[in-house]
Amino acid sequence: MAGKIKVSTAGKLFFSRVVKNGRVQRAFRNQIGIPVGNCVKGKIPRGSHPGRAAVLAAIKDCAPAKGSIRLNLGVG
């Protein structure tokens, strides 16, 4: 587990813990990140340097509709 030292609104220092390999992060990677990444990789020619607009258009074409995805966390 990684962490950062932050300052609260009261001005006190505290240690913030960040989960990087938790159940939700792994589910997102497997169900959204990898499939969308492979789709985008297939739309952009290898070795080319497309502009920002071309990359964003490829991401919009490959990404699922907002609100249509529910992560399966394997619970239950």
* Residue 34 confidence (pLDDT): 94
Predicted TM-score of the model (pTM) = 0.65
Mean pLDDT of 8-15: 90
Separation of alpha carbons 52 and 72, rounded Å: 31
Whether 76 shows a pLDDT value over 60: the answer reads: no
- The answer to whether the beta carbons of residues 18 and 4 sit under 8 Å apart is yes
pLDDT greater at residue 68 or residue 41: 41
